[in-house]
């Protein structure tokens, strides 16, 4: 790798500070409606924070290719709006009560208002994107939203049962990694780069997003509620078979496989507890297996940057996989 050294967290934050601040202002503008409930819900969601990884990826992709215009701020806000809309809908579908350490929006405003607010955020994202007058941007965003909706429907069909690794990876691409993938491609599209470079940056985003979701799934099983900002073992309680669980089921004894299936089928953990499943995962090294897989995807992501010219933005992109894999919440 010709780039001298991977950036630090502080360097990346300093590099993007002004742009991310501008995106926050854009989100305030984009979240304003003549209907008070929409403005309130959008403001509550925005104030809940978040890592802003997706707009950061778009910014870094565009800037690494020499694009520094206002359009990067607008589209950075667009991908964050899309992400926020998916979280609102996810919380409704999952009947979640906590998001980022605070009551989820649906516990305050109710499901009916929140599902409509989520729809409004999707449409506002497209309205902002239209200001670019760029059909490539719209094509990427339409494909993205279709993939994410399909992913949510697929997940609903798979709840309560074990899946294979191929199904798991397809699902997390649709639900999570496709937004990383498209964020990078949008940044490349704004820069007017070649199809080959755009595809390579998209591959970076896809692999980074898969690594991110694998780690997210591991943390759901192993982290504390205080760190996560939401109840632990939510995926297991909701019947979602994540990578470590899939691995343990494939390598477990007949009795262990029965216990895992019971945990997925029993939302109250009466048939098999979170602790029972963790013991099985530890016995078969399934958590470490999942973390190794995340590390491998992170390595592939770094490799996809080979054709980029050396710059501070490339250094920041090289740092991102380490941040994703090493995070604790």
pLDDT tens digits, 283-310: 999 999 999 999 999 999 999 999 999 9
Task: Please state the rounded mean pLDDT for residues 148-165.
Answer: 95
pTM of the model: 0.94
pLDDT of 2 > 60? The answer is: no
C-alpha to C-alpha distance for 59 and 15, rounded to whole angstroms: 10
- Give the E-state strand segments of 7-130 in sequence order: 98-99, 102-103
Is residue 105 in some structural domain? yes
Task: Please state the rounded mean pLDDT for residues 268-293.
Answer: 92
DSSP single-letter state for residue 8? P
What's the number of domains the chain is made of? 1
Rg of the chain's alpha carbons, rounded to an integer? 20
Alpha-carbon torsion (86, 88, 89, 91), positive or negative: positive
Is residue 236 in some structural domain? yes
The token pair that represents 106 in the structure block = 């649906």
pLDDT band at 327 (very low <50, low <70, confident <90, very high): confident
Is residue 267 in some structural domain? yes
Tell me which residue range forms the domain holding 198: 9-326
Is residue 125 in some structural domain? yes
Is residue 3 in some structural domain? no
pLDDT of 206 > 60? The answer is: yes
Is residue 4 in some structural domain? no
Is residue 2 in some structural domain? no
C-alpha to C-alpha distance for 171 and 265, rounded to whole angstroms: 19
Is residue 266 in some structural domain? yes
Domain CATH number, residue 230: 1.10.600.10
pLDDT band at 5 (very low <50, low <70, confident <90, very high): low
Longest dimension (CA), the chain: 59
């Amino acid at each position: 790798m010709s780039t001298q050294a991977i950036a630090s967290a502080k360097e990346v934050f300093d590099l993007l500070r002004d742009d991310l601040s501008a995106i926050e202002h854009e989100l305030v503008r984009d979240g304003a409606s003549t209907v008070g409930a929409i403005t309130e819900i959008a403001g509550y969601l925005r104030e809940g924070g978040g890592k802003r990884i997706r707009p950061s990826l778009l910014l870094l992709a565009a800037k690494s290719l020499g694009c520094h215009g206002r359009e990067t701020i607008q589209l950075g806000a667009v991908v964050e709006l899309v992400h926020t809309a998916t979280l609102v809908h996810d919380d409704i579908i999952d009947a979640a009560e906590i998001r980022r350490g605070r009551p989820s929006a649906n516990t305050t405003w109710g499901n009916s208002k929140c599902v409509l607010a989520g729809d409004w955020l999707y449409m506002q994202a497209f309205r902002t994107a239209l200001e670019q007058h760029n059909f490539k941007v719209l094509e990427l965003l339409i494909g993205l939203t279709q993939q994410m909706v399909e992913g949510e429907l697929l997940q609903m069909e798979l709840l309560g049962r074990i899946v294979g690794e191929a199904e798991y990876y397809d699902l997390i691409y649709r639900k999570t990694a496709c937004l990383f993938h498209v964020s990078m491609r949008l940044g490349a599209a704004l820069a007017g780069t070649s199809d080959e470079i755009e595809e390579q940056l998209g591959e970076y985003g896809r692999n980074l997003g898969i690594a991110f979701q694998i780690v997210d799934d591991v943390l759901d099983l192993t982290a504390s509620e205080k760190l996560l900002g939401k109840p632990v073992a939510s995926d297991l309680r909701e019947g979602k078979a994540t990578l470590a669980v899939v691995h343990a089921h494939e390598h477990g004894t007949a009795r262990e496989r029965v216990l895992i299936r019971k945990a997925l089928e029993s939302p109250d953990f009466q048939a098999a507890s979170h602790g029972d499943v963790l013991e099985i995962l530890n016995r078969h090294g399934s958590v470490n297996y999942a973390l190794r897989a995340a590390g491998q995807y992170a390595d592939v992501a770094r490799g996809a940057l080979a054709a980029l010219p050396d710059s501070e933005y490339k250094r920041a992109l090289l740092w991102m996989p380490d941040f994703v894999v090493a995070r604790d919440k």
